[in-house]
Amino acid sequence: MKSKFLGTGVALVTPFKSDLSVDYDALKNIVEFNIENGVEYLVISGTTAESVTITKQEKKDITKAVIEANKGRVPLVLGIGGNNTVAIIDEIKSTDLSEIDAILSVSPYYTKPTQEGIYQHFKAIAEATSIDILLYNVPGRTSKNVEPDTIIRLANDFDNIIGVKEAGNSTYQYLQLLKNKPEDFLVISGDDDLALGVTLAGGSGVISVIGQAFPKEFSEMIRLGLKGEAKDAYKYHYRLMDVIDYIFEENNPAGIKAVFEALGLCSASVRLPLVAASEGLKTKISNFVKAF
């Protein structure tokens, strides 16, 4: 099971039409584009999917659309997380997870629990389901870091907590996790700029934002990293460095949607309180895509 999540997973965007309704045709095209170009798995309803401004019904419909487009070809991960432990457990129990290989559950945001509170939160979730769980630590969004000791404690205590998407942008924290984790626990980069270095250091790959726009190149880079072929892998890294910076220059997912617009795969529209990428940023991104 755990080998399903070695390599490149991509945090899918939610494409919108001009009226900001979900563009399911574009979503299916993006799924096809990524599978054809070699990504190892797909992540539905993560941060990049604008999950906080998607309705419950839209989330069900988006999940169904991705399942239909995937046709069982690659593993699927579904985001189910938040800061209401009971509500998360209720959602897990009320969701048809028969086509889902794992859930991605973000650490509690806004309420700023202690490390013990974070541990008890994930303990309750792990004990409420048999599905595999990937923890998601993104302190820049949650305002609370999940310390490596807490992650390792959860990894040792619960068999269905199989890995962490670590997005603290801290090389030291990645190395702490890699040094102390159980042997088969997955440390997955959530930072596109650090993904190759983390993989070379012993990580399991990445759940990427930019990877969904350049899936062939990004997933090959990570595969080379998993094989320890650093010199060849960094050739891809250097090609993608500028656009990785661009997509996070204003906000995510406005940046990646601007890339998709330049590629002709979906519009750059996002829902408030996010706003679309500025014209200046769109121009930089468009020039990169044309020259790539």
- 96: left (phi > 0), else alpha (psi -120 to 50), else beta? beta
Say if residue 283 carries a ligand binding annotation: no
Evaluate whether residue 143 is within a structural domain: yes
Evaluate whether residue 236 is within a structural domain: no
- Residue located via tokens 């019904």: 57
Evaluate whether residue 201 is within a structural domain: yes
- Residue located via tokens 């574009």: 26
Q: What is the mean pLDDT of each run of 10 residues along the chain (292 residues)?
A: 85 98 98 98 97 98 98 98 98 98 97 98 98 98 97 98 97 98 97 98 98 98 98 98 98 98 98 98 98 97
User: What pairs with residue 166 in β-bridges?
Assistant: 137, 189
User: What pairs with residue 105 in β-bridges?
Assistant: 135
Residue 113's contacts (CB-CB under 8 Å, 6 or more residues apart) are 121, 144
Evaluate whether residue 289 is within a structural domain: no
pLDDT of residue 3: 77
The total domain count for the chain is 1
The CATH code of the domain that includes 118 is 3.20.20.70
Question: pLDDT of 194-239, one tens digit each?
Answer: 999 999 999 999 999 999 999 999 999 999 999 999 999 999 999 9
- For strand 41-44 and strand 102-106, is the pairing parallel, antiparallel, or unpaired? unpaired
Point out the residues that are catalytic: 136, 165
pLDDT of residue 2: 53
Identify the domain containing residue 223 by its residue range.
7-229
Give the span between the Cα atoms of 171 and 182, in whole angstroms: 19
C-alpha closest to that of 105 among 171, 87, 63: 87
Element of type H or E holding 248: none
Evaluate whether residue 251 is within a structural domain: no
Evaluate whether residue 290 is within a structural domain: no
Counted residue by residue, the chain has a size of 292
pLDDT of residue 1: 40
Evaluate whether residue 248 is within a structural domain: no
Evaluate whether residue 258 is within a structural domain: no
Is residue 19 exposed (0-12), middle (13-18) or buried (19+ Cβ within 10 Å)? exposed
Say if residue 48 carries a ligand binding annotation: yes
Tokens standing for residue 182: 């159980």
What DSSP character marks residue 22?
B
- For strand 161-166 and strand 132-137, is the pairing parallel, antiparallel, or unpaired? parallel
